[in-house]
Structure 1
């Protein structure tokens, strides 16, 4: 597929939470795709001090501790910057329902132009893959993550891995419409309209 036909702004996003239910954000990453590559030079990344302490389980997953986050701004201090960065863009994420819902809850009134779910796309692209988790797909597609920032389960790392996975799969689709049909979950922004049943009139 020719990337020239892609949306003007496509951001691969990932979020990490504090383990509360519903979660408070502790990290947000937004990685632009430009010229068929992840553009790390212009990526957005925010660490956030949550109002409720990070649970031990969440720290075990992403490695972010309350002490580490103590000196970072609260969500109210970074929300406008995150909103401005995301405004007008398509977003892409693995299991995108989760990232989309958390971001929408933290950014009232915000809505992306469209939502690409690489989990949904992988099921269409690699139906015989043994698993469609991000870790399994990294192995299945043999992604080179040498240049990935931070470590697995940090938002910046997972956004980078998801970007490479997306680009690997996108090469198999002839048009953006074909890709969107496979990748946008029904009911989320960017989903193709349902086909109309033929009628007599």
Structure 2
């Protein structure tokens, strides 16, 4: 059982390339063989809300290397490997963005999401957040939102997934859980880790029910009304809606006066941001916002960190 587990912390939710810490754990033959951790200078502003989560401040990274400067250490650990992350949609979005912006060389790699795998293997749990699933599996306590400790915990959760599913290889585990392997190719093409179950066409809010029985009332999406628009690149619309429902969020198909968040796919948001085109949901959200309603239009990269 060989794979690499990774975790990123970012300075803000606005820029998915604002990496301020990276943790990597290399597993060979089912045992931790190597670990890598570094603070990273994101060359960007720190959001006080995010700082409260991971505790990393701008002062702490002033003398740290940039992501580009670290790539000679990070890249070889990922090349041609199976990579694991908990909430991989976020981490892979961060990684692809940094690789693309800085034109970083890579041989490519496959990846899996331990969060989604755990949901398939242990259905009905109250929560699948990394600290919660670790407690359920009776793994050692760790400092959540410390990049290295999160990477180590995700590795242990993945090993438990392999054992429970009686899978010897990552592709076998993905297939048994009805997922296809995700990949980031050498040309930065991103193939998402996605369910192979039939989606049955477009999905409506009424079709999504929480898969957990208890919610974290402190979660940023708890009791918040959320609407989606456009195609997401990091995960499917159904998966994104399920994640919101499992956080205690309230899904809707149309933007209404009580909507808190309109989550917009990257391509549609870029068209809106550039002023070339805005769809009806975005126009409705802007109208409500201008009338004083507290509604935020979130691009996909700002939505992913909210999933926790």
What TM-score do the two structures reach when normalised by structure 1?
A: 0.80
Secondary structure in 2 aligned to 1:49?
coil
Structure 1 distance, partners of 2:181, 2:26, is: 24
SS state at 1:179 partner: helix
CA change 1:51–1:182 in 2 (3 A) is farther
Runs of 4+ deviating beyond 6 Å: none
In the TM superposition, residue 182 of structure 1 has moved relative to its aligned partner by 4.7
Do 1:116 and 1:183's aligned partners in 2 also have CA atoms closer than 8 Å?
no
Q: CA deviation at 1:187?
A: 7.2
* Contact 1:134–1:162 (CA under 8 A) maintained in structure 2: yes
Shift of 1:102: 0.6
After superposition, the CA RMSD in angstroms is 2.6
Instruction: Give, in whole Å, the separation in 1 of the partners of 2:28 and 2:5.
Output: 11
User: Who wins on radius of gyration, i.e. which is larger?
Assistant: 2
* Distance of 1:143 and 1:95 partners within structure 2: 18
Judge conservation of contact 1:44–1:85 (CA < 8 Å) in 2: no
Q: Is the 8 A contact 1:91 1:112 kept in 2?
A: no
SS at match of 1:29: strand
Deviates more, 1:10-19 or 1:105-114: 105-114
- Give unmatched runs, 5+ long, in structure 1: 4-8, 196-201
Higher relative contact order (CA 8 A, sep 6+): 1
Question: TM-score, length-normalised on structure 2?
Answer: 0.54
Distance 1:182 1:105 in 2: 30
- The corresponding residue for 1:31 is 25
Task: Select 1:178's aligned residue among 168, 172, 180.
Answer: 172
The number of aligned residues is 182
Secondary structure, aligned partner of 1:45: strand
Q: Is the 8 A contact 1:95 1:118 kept in 2?
A: yes
- Equivalence for 2:110: 114
Aligned to 2:41: 49
Where do 1:127-146 residues align within 5 Å?
127-145=123-141
CA distance in 2: counterparts of 1:123 and 1:137, whole angstroms: 9
Query: What is the CA–CA distance in structure 2 between the aligned matches of 1:54 and 1:180, rounded to whole Å?
Result: 36
Match of 1:96 in 2: 88
Structure 2: gaps of 5 or more residues: 184-190, 198-308
